[in-house]
A = this chain, B = another copy of it.
Amino acid sequence: MDRPVPSALQLHVSRWFNTPKPIALDELRGKVVAVHTFQMLCPACVAHGLPQAMRLREAFSADQLAVIGLHTVFEHHPVMGPDALQAFIHEYQLRFPIGVDEADPHGTVPRTMAAWGLRGTPSLVLLDRYGQARLSHFGRIDDLTLGAVVGQLLERPYQPEVMADEHVRDGRCDGDACHP
């Protein structure tokens, strides 16, 4: 993992697209979650990150893997607002839920991006079925490597009750703890 990501991840989203209601990561327990962070004017996001997010969406069942986009605008704010993003989503035919990372009134980096310690766009964060970040990757990642991490996370058994206890005891779930 490029950098440690805090244990209790939350999305701070000011507006959602492609979903009838806001998404909370808590509600996705039991699924592996891929959060793809991007900016609509970031060439590497358009060329590599977003197409990979679309491939993720197609390669795995929505019951097993949730794919979420997060528009983490940290530059060119005036021209990457929600209306611009909406046109972008429409033209690029993005189908998965996409949230606008909430602006920080005191800085240029939006709230989720700051809280998760992300370095730029594109960044991909993978959460296991317990909501723990298992991968946080800035830049390009190849499909074989990404697929392997998703496969590993999908393979781990999900036992919510045991997990709850682990959480109370440890404050953080590490790899072994999830595999009784």
Contact = CB atoms under 8 A, between A and B. Distances in A.
A5 interface: no
A59 B151 contact: no
Interface in A148-180: 148-157, 179
A8 interface: no
A129 B43 CA distance: 34
For the complex formed by this chain, how many copies does it contain in all? 4
Interface residues of A, number: 37
A24 interface: no
Given A41-B87, A46-B46, A156-B155, A60 B147 contact: no
Nearest to A143: B143
Contacts of A154: 148, 151-152
A53 to B, nearest CB: 11
Nearest to A42: B91
B60 A148 contact: yes
A153 to B, nearest CB: 8
Interface stretch (A10-18, A76-84, A95-103, A105-113): A76-84
A82 B59 CA distance: 38
Interface of A: 41-43, 46-47, 55-56, 59-60, 76, 78-81, 83-84, 87-88, 91-92, 142-157, 179
Given A144-B147, A144-B150, A145-B147, 4 more contacts: A46-B46, A56-B144, A148-B154, A152-B152
13 contacts: A59-B142, A76-B87, A78-B83, A79-B81, A79-B83, A80-B87, A142-B143, A143-B144, A144-B146, A144-B147, A147-B148, A152-B154, A157-B179
